[in-house]
Every structure is written in C-alpha cells, then in structure tokens.
Amino acid sequence: MTPQPEGAPPPAPPRPIFVIKRKKAGHGGHHGGAWKVAYADFVTAMMALFIVLWLMSADEKVKEAVSAFFNNPTGNGTQIGTDAAGTGHAITLPKDDMAKLREKMEQALKTMPNFKDMKEHVEMTITVDGLRIELLETEAGMFFESGRPLPSPSGAELLTRLAEELGKLPNHLLLEGHTDAKPFTTKDGYYSNWELSTDRANAARRLMEQHGVSHEQVAQVRGFAERQLRHPEDPMHASNRRVSVIVQYLTPPPEPAKAAGEAGKGEGGKAQGEAEKKSGEGHKEGGETGKPPVKAAGEPAKGEGKPAAH
C-alpha cells in the first residue's frame, strides 16, 4: 500500500447511486371518459333526427298543437290543452275531440276508490249537443235520495271528480235534472217534480263550482221533471231519475237538417224549374188546369166583363 504523504487530504467518499423509476403515462382506453362525450353527442343528434321525422309524418292537428305550444308554453286556451299555466297537459287533448274527452273522463273516474260500484250507472254518450254524462239513479238512490234535492255522499264524490276534470276545459256546461213519472208534491202543493228536478241540477252546479268549474263555464241549468223519460215504456223506472252534465262543443257542428237542405237545394231548384217548364208547355197547349196564359197588352181576355163565379 502506497504510503500517503503527510498533510494530504483524505480521499472523497464514494457518491451514492440513485435509481429513478418513471411510470408510463396511461392512455384513455376503456378506463377513460372521453368516449362518453362523443356518445352523448351522437344520442342527442339521433333524438333530434327522430323528432324531425315524427313531425314530418304527423298530421296537421299535431303540427298546429306543437306550434301553439312553443309559441306559448303556458297555454292560451285557443288551441290545445288547458288555460291553466304549468299543468303539463297543453298538448294532450284537442278540445273538440269528444271521443278522446270521453276516454279521458272514463280514465279519471276509474281512479275513484268506489267507482266499480257505480260504473254501471254512469253513462257517457256523444250527441249533437256534445258529450253527455248521465248519472242514472237506482231504486235505493245512489246519487240523489228519493225526493231529496241534495246529492248523496256518492253523488257528491262523483260530481267533485267530474268538476276537477271539466274545470280544466274552456267548454261550456249544461246541467239537467230529470225525474220519473211518480207524482211528487208537498202538503202545500207548491213543490213538484219541476222544482225537484231543477233543484237537483242546481245543487250539482253549486257543488261543481266549488271544485274547479268556473261560474262563467256553466251556460244553463235546466229541470225537465218527467217530460223527457229515459224509458218511456216504463215511466216509473229508477233510471228515469237522473242528472245530466253536457260538455258543449266549442264550435257547434252543422245541423243535419240544414246540411240536408243545402244539399238538396240544387236538386229541388232543378226539379222546380222542370215543373214550371212543363206547366208552361201545358198552358201553351191549351190545358184546362193552372193559370190562364198571359195576354198581350190591350187584348181582351176571354169572358172579360162577366161577373166572377164565387
């Protein structure tokens, strides 16, 4: 070993060795989220495409309804849906489509707990006046007890449910009361089937106005007593006692008689013209019936000057 000279510094210690491990940067692959953004854009574009295709194939009523909804989402009461803002039914039901209204009312009444007990006594028919909803009585008095003008608990529940649905519509309502042919009079003689039928219809009006129907929505309240029997062959039948709620058309349909008259106007005029033509030919040939032929001015008529026969 070589001796170190005196006074020389000691040798430097060896430098430590550092090992650096670098992790490779991860890629998206299946664990990244970039593909989700692209997929969301694709789904959105497909949804927009299908909406456009649906609108292009829809009929004019649906197009008008969608256009009216986007012009005024709260509903303006002139196109589709209800007048109430924020109800979410603005394009659900065309107001003049009574068939769909009947179906909607049937679905609404089915939500009542005890409707299965009264469904056989609630009848909905579409007439020239609109949708007629009739509450047909039973012998025990399901909706109105016999001789009483106020509704029973079942009748009040049903009228309340009707009011909640009909109050959303702008259509006018008619309320009618009917009785059977059994005479009904009080001791003083001033209360009869006329008053009873009218009071029942009016009681239904008051109850419905308390649960959604506006005062302006009711157009008429009428009582017919026993003048319009449901079963004329059985005047005492319990279903003759009934209360009717009629949902009127917004635009009344054309009257059948008027439409038939206009359709036959041309044919009737043509037939009348042919009859007049034949009548003229008969006069020309010297027929014995009808009006005498018109004479020229100054020409004396046959038999002129003789007294007329009476």
How big, in percent rounded to 5, are the helix, strand and coil portions of the chain? 40, 10, 50
Between 2 and 56, residue with greater pLDDT = 56
pLDDT over 60 at 191, yes or no: yes
Mean pLDDT (the chain) is 76
Task: Check residue 4 and give its pLDDT.
Answer: 58
Say how far apart CA 72 and CA 79 lie, in whole Å: 10
Q: Give the residue from 261, 257, 259, 163 showing the smallest Cα distance to 218.
A: 163
Task: Check residue 260 and give its pLDDT.
Answer: 53
Domains of the chain in start order, with CATH, are 98-248 (3.30.1330.60)
pLDDT in tens, 276-292: 555 555 444 444 444 44
* Percentage of residues of the chain with pLDDT beyond 70: 66
What is the side-by-side order of every strand in the sheet holding 242-248? 122-126, 130-136, 242-248, 173-178, 218-223
Q: Find the angle CA(265)-CA(270)-CA(271) to the nearest 5 degrees.
A: 100
pLDDT over 60 at 221, yes or no: yes
pLDDT over 50 at 298, yes or no: no
Say how far apart CA 74 and CA 9 lie, in whole Å: 96
Burial class (CB within 10 angstroms; exposed 0-12, middle 13-18, buried 19+) of 175:
buried
Task: Check residue 303 and give its pLDDT.
Answer: 41
Mean predicted confidence (pLDDT) in 87-110: 70
pLDDT in tens, 22-48: 776 655 555 567 889 999 999 999 999
Task: Check residue 10 and give its pLDDT.
Answer: 77
pLDDT band at 218 (very low <50, low <70, confident <90, very high): very high
| Cβ proximity of 264 and 219 under 8 Å | no
